[in-house]
Amino acid sequence: MDKESLNKKEKKENNKNKKDHSNIGWFIKIFFTTFILSMFFSFISSNGITNLSLIPAILILIIVILVGIGFDIIGVAVTVADENEFHAKATKKVKGSKSSIKLIRNAPKVANICADVVGDICGVLSGAISALISMKITEQFGMNFDLQFIISALVAAITVGGKALGKGVANSKSTQIVHAVGIVFNKFGKKEK
């Protein structure tokens, strides 16, 4: 092997090692972030919902389900959006276009955060909240059978059905969704130049 081939091989191995370390670092960040957020929101939901009456608890459950579905839509939209459309918008200085390009370039991480981290935390929360709601209904109406299985199945069906519908919306409206998220990032993050 000549020297040039060895240098190419070394560069390729170094890039692979950097990528492996980057993936391990990402795993560690996501693991601890998800763990801490899950504990925090589970604590809030179990302690906060128990003190609420039935209607506010149901409203919070609906909000949690909608947040999970919404973030799943964003995760899918980012993975299917076409970056080239945003380059055209960026040349015209359309707000949110540069942030949208960053989102698309980091699609695996964005999808992981939106669909997995937020989605799974919402799943855990909706499960805990639905259990508390079933206990409240059983106590309030003096029922002698456990509603938890029915309510949990209903929540799961609504969540999965909503995500299924959302995936279709994300595929057909990916540009608009990613651009809307890019505008939000632009508004609350560093301003685009």
Segment 171-189, tens digit of pLDDT: 999 999 999 999 998 888 7
Half-sphere exposure of 130 (CA within 13 A, CB side): 24
Q: Tell me, what's the pLDDT at 3?
A: 57
- Yes or no: say if 139 and 55 are a contact pair by the CB < 8 Å rule: no
Confidence of residue 7 (pLDDT cuts 50, 70, 90): low
Counted residue by residue, the chain has a size of 193
Report whether pLDDT(153) > 60: yes
Half-sphere exposure of 20 (CA within 13 A, CB side): 6
Report whether pLDDT(103) > 90: yes
Q: Tell me, what's the pLDDT at 144?
A: 74
Q: Which residue has the higher pLDDT, 164 or 88?
A: 164
The Cβ of residue 81 has, within 10 Å, a number of other Cβ atoms equal to: 26
Report whether pLDDT(151) > 60: yes
